[in-house]
Structure 1
């Protein structure tokens, strides 16, 4: 053990310049500590620090001020990160506060053993770097993973569907991977993990000699090598899987990724915060951790991460806050059954496109057992309390928007089915198209995801050509433009509503296009990709809109982070003079591109039937 400690320390400053005998003495005096997510590793503002700490695995969040405000850590340290030296060397209560961002292992080194290191040239250089380089985030400890292929480390452990569970368990043990991938003749894959074996075979007393095909997870969720790592991480978290086979575009197995592979990925800090949110034991703690979401997003943006990754992380964190708020509020009302409802996220959060100005829209679908008006009123009162918790967490909840405490957005499954059917038949009545658009973006995040009937009804949309045409007309009515008539009349030419005049037109096109090809995709980028090459949306136009959407979201997020830095509230109304010349130029070009696609789709709709809309684009047709 002493040898392994010495070998580890030798790879990081200031220990990498030490002679072997000095490293051996330090290693012999060191001890290992393991910490759970969210626990305090060190508080140099309260305790007298007599030891140095070195991160062995996981990530540690450091605060260099004693008030620990919810504005995110001053530093995030990965393996090899050193902390506690300032308080140890000076004997003063100058911090830091160190918290575990996920499971963490550290080495503790006594001060009397390690102080001489800082008297050496290597120690002086280490302190000089730390004291003169202002770093909000220790970027050297966080890798810039882009696609999931960059996370692959070893060859996958592969078995066969005919092998016994006992044989699979032996192979899993030999490779220390915790899983085995099972290729199937149709090109798909199954997965069996050691956790599956314990739960499905050992715990139930099943036969260890039964074939793997009887107990494996099939079909396994897979990811193509070019898939953004952040998207795969979201799948792992939201679907509760422990490993994802990675395949190349031809379907060949390349490897497997597991949750631990994402610890040092750029989104890792956000996922650590998600874990802390899920563990919040009170509303005050939840509010404290929820308010840190915006700073995680800002840090990701400053590291140059693509906007779709930033918004996906924000959406995952928002989901976590909503779930935890429900877990805290509903049990406090013993007359309510938490299992009798399905909570749907709506709007931008449902599409995983949350930004700093986004409101949290929601709806609820009740079991048929929830029929008493007084009981439903009690549920809605609880949902209003959840909304107040979300506001304390720094999330926007529009009092006049789509929220689960409103009668319009909380109904039983059968009531939702009935009203959705009415919207299909008469979309112009009772705000039918507006409500349909909201629910088409719905994503269940609590309860039975298959319980709601709304999505089933909307699958029948193509059987209502008149409604499809009205939805298209409604989608194209939000014109992409740099100035509205209201701007002209009010002489407010120096601002631009990036949401209303640029992003909503793209979102609407994507939503309608996905409907036209019967795609279940919810996100704007996924919807555009699914409909690319259809008669109404050429592949070139779809690709253009994907690029435009990314540009617009990046400008929007960058502007909102700057507002955050200035103590302002995030908004979608941009003051043009505050944008760089390049961003102003990109904004103008983006609006022109969206407007051109809108005109094309409007023209095409006049001489094509609804049936033709989803057919492949005619060869040679110009986009």
Structure 2
């Protein structure tokens, strides 16, 4: 008699790694032993410190939330959707669980017996590497891995692999600090006695600067400042900050980007929250080879566009490698964004050297759109702008002319590297988008106080800007002005919200994909316009309505919203998860077909891929319903 349950399980597992690496007969033999587990929302499949089960798991339907309790606070570590595996400690370490696994909604998971699966791991190198990488990306301290069976020994053998270094960076907790008035003599004495290389300067428990041995050498030993001068005169400010859950590559990339050997670890990763630790360059393990750290160094040393173009190609290979290894997508996004930003920064530096004279006033280069949100993984067209200090009216034309020349050089330089020109000319080489701070304020006010369809479209692009190079105070002042103006005209946010809910739906009444009806892309599905943009736009308008600063990234926006509105936490987490799934899918399609990935040929997708896409669409309708209620849109629809 046929085992129809095992066949259904096989039909599911064959679409996902590492099971897709098995032959049909071996997979079916495993499926006959698989346990089907149904969980209601809030039910746990295992809990932190609980002894490992004799199986690991894969999500069939629903979602499993992986959390960790630390200092009585529950931190969300990951969300396992359809096809995601978890609970690998049963297969690798056979130690107590490090996290809780809780059903985030009604969920079905398959339990894979560890003893049944382990022989296939030992004889299949690809399965082994996949499981090692999946486990390593969630191990906080790899030194805890002991030789407990053949599988765990492979982790030690692979511990020098670049990918393994995506473990969390270890930092020094409860760092020694001083205040703004502490004298240089006292700081030096304390650092000597404590045998530390840096001291964080704090105000109201928040880091405002840092003093290192280098600062004492260059500023005090030289006689430039006296031993009695206060910390505020010799500190490096602002201090570079990161959150505690930071990986080794991300931390190292940040150090290289900011030219610092120390990073302050704060509660939320910004200078505006409590200091909880300090991370030094000596705390990091720097791998050799084609990794983010090396690419950042190469970028900083590059002197020609040819070198940067080569680095950009290496970034594409790194992205493909990370995706193939199924590493946490949030880490991939952070690392690739930092590498892209480093290339833009170096391009501006090289173009400045080609100018006949230094800049007449301070300026800031702004990345817009997906790059401004730090969500640009595949190369696409440029979206950028330039803002310069206000000058007298008689000097405006001359000043703008200088920066237009510079912008033209940078835009062309980026194009030679691989960043296409923006077809809508939303680039700093356009006089409209290369202007003074005061003119930028007027432009934002025009969009906000006199909204029309064109202004709403442009604001959705230009409000997602990130400082890329130059004087950061200019972009900070523009942000303050933007939020103040929005607070004076709530109608603008209402119109933004109305525009979001009027965007075309990804699926029709009968749950069929809504595809392009004509043109060269007829019957293709536009994942960017129909699925990603509603989530991006909703996060933006909600954050603007709550005056949330320094959160341009969509994933970060939803996390901030979940913190501020716990009553909507489940919805915001669903939106974050859906956005991550959709952006990853778009990126993989782009790599597969050598395109931007935004237009998808549905016939090329498997049934499982289509189902996963449709599942990610669910939060779109729910977040649009929240916007309708929040901005009272029923009255104007």
Do Structure 1 and Structure 2 share a fold, with TM-score over 0.5?
yes
1:596 matched to 2:626? The reply is no
Q: Which residue matches 2:344?
A: 322
What secondary structure is seen at the aligned counterpart in 2 of 1:526? Answer: helix
Distance in 2 of aligned mates of 1:341 and 1:409: 13
1:605 matched to 2:625? The reply is no
What secondary structure is seen at the aligned counterpart in 1 of 2:576? Answer: helix
Query: Which of 503, 515, 520 pairs up with 1:478?
Result: 503
1:498 matched to 2:498? The reply is no
Per-residue CA deviation, residues 308-358 of structure 1 (Å, 9 max, x unaligned), is: 222222222222222222222233231562754321111111111112143
Q: Which residue matches 2:548?
A: 519
Q: Which residue matches 2:612?
A: 586
Per-residue CA deviation, residues 244-281 of structure 1 (Å, 9 max, x unaligned), is: 24367999976421245445479981232122112112
**Change in CA separation of 1:205 and 1:325 when aligned onto 2, cut-off 3 Å:** closer
Task: Give the drift of 1:302.
Answer: 2.7
**Change in CA separation of 1:332 and 1:163 when aligned onto 2, cut-off 3 Å:** closer
The question of whether the paired residues in 1 share the 8 Å contact of 2:183 and 2:229 is answered with: yes
1:178 matched to 2:203? The reply is no
Task: Give the drift of 1:569.
Answer: 3.4
CA RMSD of aligned residues (A): 3.8
The question of whether the paired residues in 1 share the 8 Å contact of 2:361 and 2:388 is answered with: no
Task: Give the drift of 1:538.
Answer: 1.7
Correspondence list, 1:276-425, <5 A: 276-334=298-356, 337=359, 340-369=362-391, 371=395, 373=397, 376-377=400-401, 379-425=403-449
Distance in 2 of aligned mates of 1:340 and 1:202: 31
Correspondence list, 1:543-558, <5 A: 543-558=573-588
Task: Give the drift of 1:180.
Answer: 2.8
Residue segments in structure 1 that go unaligned for 5+ positions in a row: 1-136, 611-623
The question of whether the paired residues in 2 share the 8 Å contact of 1:537 and 1:601 is answered with: no
1:169 matched to 2:169? The reply is no
State the aligned residue count: 467
**Change in CA separation of 1:372 and 1:427 when aligned onto 2, cut-off 3 Å:** same
The question of whether the paired residues in 2 share the 8 Å contact of 1:297 and 1:310 is answered with: yes
Correspondence list, 1:138-153, <5 A: 140-142=160-162, 144-145=164-165, 150-152=168-170
Q: Which residue matches 2:597?
A: 571
The question of whether the paired residues in 2 share the 8 Å contact of 1:192 and 1:216 is answered with: yes
The question of whether the paired residues in 2 share the 8 Å contact of 1:420 and 1:454 is answered with: no
What secondary structure is seen at the aligned counterpart in 2 of 1:391? Answer: helix
**Change in CA separation of 1:142 and 1:477 when aligned onto 2, cut-off 3 Å:** same
Task: Give the drift of 1:182.
Answer: 5.8
The question of whether the paired residues in 2 share the 8 Å contact of 1:155 and 1:254 is answered with: yes
Task: Give the drift of 1:384.
Answer: 2.9
**Change in CA separation of 1:492 and 1:164 when aligned onto 2, cut-off 3 Å:** closer
Q: Which residue matches 1:510?
A: 539
Residue segments in structure 2 that go unaligned for 5+ positions in a row: 1-156
Distance in 2 of aligned mates of 1:184 and 1:365: 31
Correspondence list, 1:251-270, <5 A: 255-264=277-286, 269-270=291-292
Distance in 1 of aligned mates of 2:224 and 2:478: 40
TM-score with structure 1 length normalisation? 0.65
Task: Give the drift of 1:440.
Answer: 1.4
Q: Which residue matches 2:124?
A: none
Greater radius of gyration (CA): 1
Q: Which residue matches 2:570?
A: 540
The question of whether the paired residues in 2 share the 8 Å contact of 1:179 and 1:194 is answered with: yes
Task: Give the drift of 1:155.
Answer: 6.2
Q: Which residue matches 1:444?
A: 467
Q: Which residue matches 2:39?
A: none
Per-residue CA deviation, residues 370-391 of structure 1 (Å, 9 max, x unaligned), is: 9454764564344233222212
Distance in 2 of aligned mates of 1:524 and 1:476: 18
Task: Give the drift of 1:172.
Answer: 3.5
Per-residue CA deviation, residues 112-132 of structure 1 (Å, 9 max, x unaligned), is: xxxxxxxxxxxxxxxxxxxxx
Greater alpha carbon shift after TM alignment, 437-446 vs 387-396: 387-396
Task: Give the drift of 1:219.
Answer: 7.6
The question of whether the paired residues in 1 share the 8 Å contact of 2:252 and 2:284 is answered with: yes
Distance in 2 of aligned mates of 1:386 and 1:249: 34
What secondary structure is seen at the aligned counterpart in 2 of 1:337? Answer: coil
What secondary structure is seen at the aligned counterpart in 2 of 1:140? Answer: coil
Distance in 2 of aligned mates of 1:305 and 1:599: 33
Distance in 1 of aligned mates of 2:338 and 2:360: 21
Task: Give the drift of 1:448.
Answer: 0.9
The question of whether the paired residues in 2 share the 8 Å contact of 1:479 and 1:505 is answered with: no
Per-residue CA deviation, residues 184-236 of structure 1 (Å, 9 max, x unaligned), is: 66476864211222344334532324565764457855544335666655654
Per-residue CA deviation, residues 553-587 of structure 1 (Å, 9 max, x unaligned), is: 22222223333xxxx33432122343444332211
The question of whether the paired residues in 2 share the 8 Å contact of 1:220 and 1:244 is answered with: yes
